[in-house]
Amino acid sequence: MSAAFDTVDTVEPEALPPRSGNRAWKKLKRNRSALVGLVLVSFFVLIALAAPLLPVPDPAATSWTAVRKAPSAAHWLGTDEIGRDILSRMIWGARASLMAGVVSVIIAVLIGVPLGLLSGYFGKWIDQIISRIADALLATPFLILAIALAAFLGPSLTNAMIAIGLSAMPVFIRLTRGQVLSVKTEDFVEGARAVGLGNGAIIFRYILPNVFAPILVQATLTIATAIIAEASLSFLGLGQQPPAPSWGSMLNVAKNFLTQAPWMAWWPGAAIFLVVLGFNLLGDGLRDALDPRES
Amino acid sequence: MLSYIARRLAVIIPTLILVSIFIFTLQKILPGDPALALAGEERDAATLEFIREKYHLNDPIYLQYINWAGSALKGDLGISLRTNEPVTKLIGSKLPVTIQLAVMAMIIAFLVGVPAGVLSAVKKGTVVDYLANIVALSGLSIPNFWLGIMLILLVSVNLGWLPASGFESIFVDPVRSLQTMIMPAFVLGTSLAATLMRHTRSAMLGVLKADYVRTARSKGVSEHAVIIKHAFRNALLPIVTLSAVLFGQLLAGAVLTEQIFTIPGFGKLIVDAVFTRDYAVVQGVVLCTAIGFLGMNLIADIAYFLLNPRMRSML
């Protein structure tokens, strides 16, 4: 008995996730690309959060005297085909894009990670079933699956987020399962099992904290993919519905006015590009910062 | 070799059955009575009952699935509600268009991504490497539908060099075909080129540290020969197998590209089907994409097996 508790005493400090938060942050701060990514992401998040406070016109307010006006002092980014201020729609559109990116990844993580934990930890038939489901979902390319789901669920931003979240989920199942398979054979997990800890406690106290870093990196990179997916669905008319603004739907309309009002297409695409680039840079930086092999 | 393929097929077949169950279930998640959705405007009781009988909607759900899967196995994916044509025939007529687009995109991606990856690895830590990485990351971040719109604006509207839309088969009029497809292929190939560049760089960096490369250098082999003959040949293996997998993903990317350039391919078919609630076509396209994707994965596995001497020696 005492031997078992001795095991706990020696295992416990190792079992806790290494206190690498500060070290990772220091590494992240030294990575200039990651900092550029962080600045870009923070900028768009701030804009999205501050949208109601910013002195811009109502994004749905039309003006027949200002139809398709080029960028000017009155309308910094110009106006669209029914005289709405593009800057205002860009700012409010940031909310839809970022929310879609984050919410769909939350859906993917909340379903994918527990399934991956169960699959990797319990193995056997549970692993077989969950892995085959993940394989089946992965066999259908991300965007096709999202389009099909959005088509059957009906076009709306909420349904687009559900469709993107479900399409992104198998990646998290696979990733978590793989991580659990390597962590569950570690000494500290064996030790926890030896002292009689239940499966739930082992999973939540010992395994989950140790598989957290790669999930965080994947989540950051998947937000970038999800933002493009939402813009793609909105571009196809399957995401945010008019008159609510979203960058994808703005581009969908803009493509019909390329010769008369090219500025309608410039800004939404540039915004998608910058925010996705930001998340990609940040994700790459996080991967390097959290990778113990990187010195 | 055959046993290896048989083992891979043993994994693919249950996956395909699950995919088919999933695709079949899609129609079941339609809110309300599917007969109502299928009936469109004609919603009298007799029509609804006729539709229920025709599509076996009164049968238990497992029987409905068996009927559907049995027909799909025989190549019958149902009838398009929009055009009244068999879905298989519709897909068969659109697929060559998308395959041409995907092959051209793949060629462009290879011509850009692989040399850039090799150069970036050889010049690691220099401005060239840094620039190549920035361009690659930008290629991964740029939404291809926006890139398409911007290229139409620049190349077609402002410069008038290439047509903004349309399609001509390469077997009918090769010159016209290249003119209409080069821009969409470039758009579709951009993110692929970026992915290939990053993987080539990573594979080359690994190979350049290998003992046989060091030995070749110490024997006085020229740097050019070391890079091409010794390093690149060995780095090519993961890139070739990755390309087979990425080719499947190109089919998905084609959805948006075809929409922007009005190319009558596979991707446009699914988008048009979505808006006309042509569910049989949506199901058929998703099923065919999954089969294509799994098929390309199988080819990737076989290519890896054939190209890797270590795997072959395990026979």
Alpha carbon of residue A123 to chain centroid: 28
Distance CA(A164)–CA(A180), nearest Å, equals: 25
Residue with tokens 């994965």: B297
Residue with tokens 């999973």: A203
Is the pLDDT at B37 greater than 70, yes or no? no
Domain ranges for chain B, please list them.
Answer: 2-73, 94-314
> Which of these ranges, A39-53, A106-120, A244-258, B217-231, has the smallest mean pLDDT?
B217-231
At B50, the pLDDT band (50, 70, 90 cuts) reads confident
Segment A147-161 mean pLDDT? 84
Given a cut of 70, whether residue A293 has pLDDT beyond it is no
The Cα–Cα gap between B120 and B113 comes to 10
A2 pLDDT more than 80: no
Give the one of A142, A147, A269 whose C-beta lies nearest to B143's C-beta. A269
For residues B149 and B157, give the distance between their C-alpha atoms in angstroms, rounded to a whole number: 10
Mean pLDDT throughout B212-219? 87
pTM above 0.90, yes or no: no
Binary contact (A232, B271; C-beta < 8 A): no
Nearest by Cα to A94 from A126, A134, A48: A48
Residue length, chain A?
295
Is residue A56 within 8 angstroms of chain B, CB to CB?
A: no
Q: Give the residue-averaged pLDDT of B45-63.
A: 81
- Best residue in A36, A41, A133, A147 to probe B by mutation, most B CBs within 10 Å? A147
Gap from B260 CA to chain A (nearest CA, Å): 8
C-alpha distance from A23 to closest chain B C-alpha (Å):
24
Of B52 and B315, which is predicted with more confidence?
B52
> What pLDDT score does A6 carry?
33
CA distance B293 to chain A (A): 6
Predicted local confidence at residue A13, as pLDDT: 34
Asked if the model's pLDDT at residue A24 lies above 90, the reply is no
Question: What is residue B112's predicted lDDT score, i.e. its pLDDT?
Answer: 94
Rounded to 5°, angle at Cα B305 from B199 and B296: 65
Chain A, residues 64-123, CB within 8 A of chain B, namely none
pLDDT band for B105, please (50, 70, 90 cuts). Answer: very high
Residue with tokens 């930001």: A278
Q: Which residues, other chains included, contact B79 with Cβ-Cβ below 8 Å and sequence gap of 6+?
A: B85, B86, B87, B280
- Among the listed residues B77, B99, B74, the one whose alpha carbon sits nearest the alpha carbon of residue B88: B77
pLDDT at B309: 67
pLDDT of residue A103: 96
Q: CA nearest A274 in B: which residue?
A: B141
- Burial (0-12, 13-18, 19+ Cβ within 10 Å), A195: middle
- How many Cβ atoms sit within 10 Å of the Cβ of residue A9? 12
Q: What is the 3-state secondary structure (H, E, C) of chain B?
A: CHHHHHHHHHHHHHHHHHHHHHHHHHHHCCCCCHHHHHHCCCCCHHHHHHHHHHCCCCCCHHHHHHHHHHHHHCCCCCECCCCCCEHHHHHHHHHHHHHHHHHHHHHHHHHHHHHHHHHHHHCCCCHHHHHHHHHHHHHHHCCHHHHHHHHHHHHHHHCCCCCCCCCCCCCCCHHHHHHHHHHHHHHHHHHHHHHHHHHHHHHHHHHHCCHHHHHHHHCCCCHHHHHHHHHHHHHHHHHHHHHHHHHHHHHHHHHHHHHHCCCCCHHHHHHHHHHCCCHHHHHHHHHHHHHHHHHHHHHHHHHHHHHCHHHHHCC
Instruction: Place B314 in a pLDDT band, splitting at 50, 70 and 90.
Output: low
Q: What fold does the segment set B94-314 form as a domain?
A: MetI-like fold (1.10.3720)
% residues pLDDT > 90 (chain A): 53
Distance CA A176, CA B294 (A): 22
Looking at every residue in chain B, the average pLDDT score rounds to: 85
CA A177 to each of CA A115, A117, A140, B238: distance values in angstroms, whole numbers, following the listed order? 8, 6, 20, 24
Lowest mean pLDDT among A25-34, A81-90, A272-281, B187-196: A25-34
In chain B, what is the straight-line distance between the N-terminal and C-terminal CA atoms, in Å? 7
pLDDT at B42: 64
Provide φ and ψ at A110, rounded to 5°: -65, -30
SS3 A156: coil
The closest alpha carbon to B191, from A225, A148, A271, belongs to A225
Bond from prior residue into B163 cis (ω within 30 degrees of 0): no
The partner residues of A85 in beta bridges, in order of sequence, read: A79
Alpha carbon of B169 to those of A6, B177, B277: distances in Å? 75, 6, 29
Which residues, at least 6 apart from B23, have a Cβ–Cβ distance to it below 8 Å? A148, B283, B286, B287, B290
Contact state of A135 with B31 under an 8 Å Cβ cutoff? no
Instruction: Write the residue in A136, A140, A273 that is nearest to B142 by C-beta.
Output: A273
- Pairwise pLDDT comparison (B55 vs B217), residue with the higher score: B217
Asked if A265's CB is within 8 angstroms of B149's CB, the reply is yes
pLDDT in tens, A267-281: 999 999 999 999 999
> How close is the nearest chain B Cα to the Cα of A227, in Å?
10
Q: pLDDT tier at B307 (50, 70, 90 boundaries)?
A: confident
What CA dihedral angle connects B163, B167, B171 and B174, to 10 degrees? 0
pLDDT of B186 higher than 70? yes
Residue B161 scores a pLDDT above 90: yes
| A140–chain B Cβ distance below 8 A for any pair | yes
| Interface contact flag, A269 B11, Cβ < 8 Å | no
Look up residue A20 and give its two tokens.
Answer: 């690498």
Q: Does B27 touch chain A (CB under 8 A)?
A: yes
CA neighbor of B69 nearest in space, from B22, B9, B29 = B22
Per-residue pLDDT band at B30 (split at 50, 70, 90):
low
By the CB < 8 Å criterion, does B16 face chain A? Answer: yes
> What tens digit of pLDDT does each residue of A172-185 get?
999 999 999 988 88
Best mutation target, B11, B149, B279, B296, to test chain A (most A CBs within 10 A): B149
Query: Per residue in A212-268, pLDDT tens?
Result: 888 999 999 999 999 999 999 999 888 888 888 999 999 999 988 988 899 999 999
The pLDDT of residue A12: 36
Which residues 184-223 of B are in CB contact (within 8 Å) with A? none
What tokens appear for B176 in the block? 């016209």
Whether the pLDDT of residue B73 is over 60: the answer is: yes
- Cα–Cα distance for residue pair B262/B187, rounded to 1 Å: 14
pLDDT grade, residue B34 (50/70/90)?
low
Measure in Å the smallest separation between the Cα of A164 and chain B Cα atoms: 14
- Rounded CA separation B242/B300 (Å): 7
Query: What mean pLDDT comes out for the span B192-196?
Result: 92
- How many of the other CB atoms lie within 10 Å of CB of B235? 25
In this predicted structure, the answer to whether residue A104 has a pLDDT above a threshold of 90 is yes
Query: Residue A19's pLDDT band (boundaries 50, 70, 90)?
Result: low
Helices (H) and strands (E) in chain A — how many of each?
12, 0
Mean pLDDT score across all residues of chain A = 86
Could you say which DSSP state residue A79 is in?
Answer: B
Lowest mean pLDDT among A99-113, A210-224, B15-29, B160-174: B15-29
Percent of chain B with pLDDT over 70: 93
Distance from C-alpha of B148 to C-alpha of A119, rounded to nearest angstrom? 41
pLDDT tens digits, one per residue of B118-128: 999 999 889 99
A110 pLDDT band, cuts 50/70/90, is very high
pLDDT band per the 50, 70, 90 thresholds, residue B300: confident
* DSSP string across A81-139: TTS-BHHHHHHHHHHHHHHHHHHHHHHHHHHHHHHHHHHHHH-HHHHHHHHHHHHHHHH
Taking a C-beta distance cutoff of 8 angstroms, is the pair A175, A221 a contact?
Answer: no
| Mean pLDDT to the nearest integer, A47-58 | 92
CB contact under 8 A, B143 and A231: yes
Q: Are A90 and A247 in contact (CB under 8 A)?
A: yes
The beta-carbon neighbor of B146 closest among A136, A152, A269 is: A269
Is B190 within 8 Å of B112 (Cβ atoms)?
no
Query: Can you tell me the ipTM of this complex?
Result: 0.84
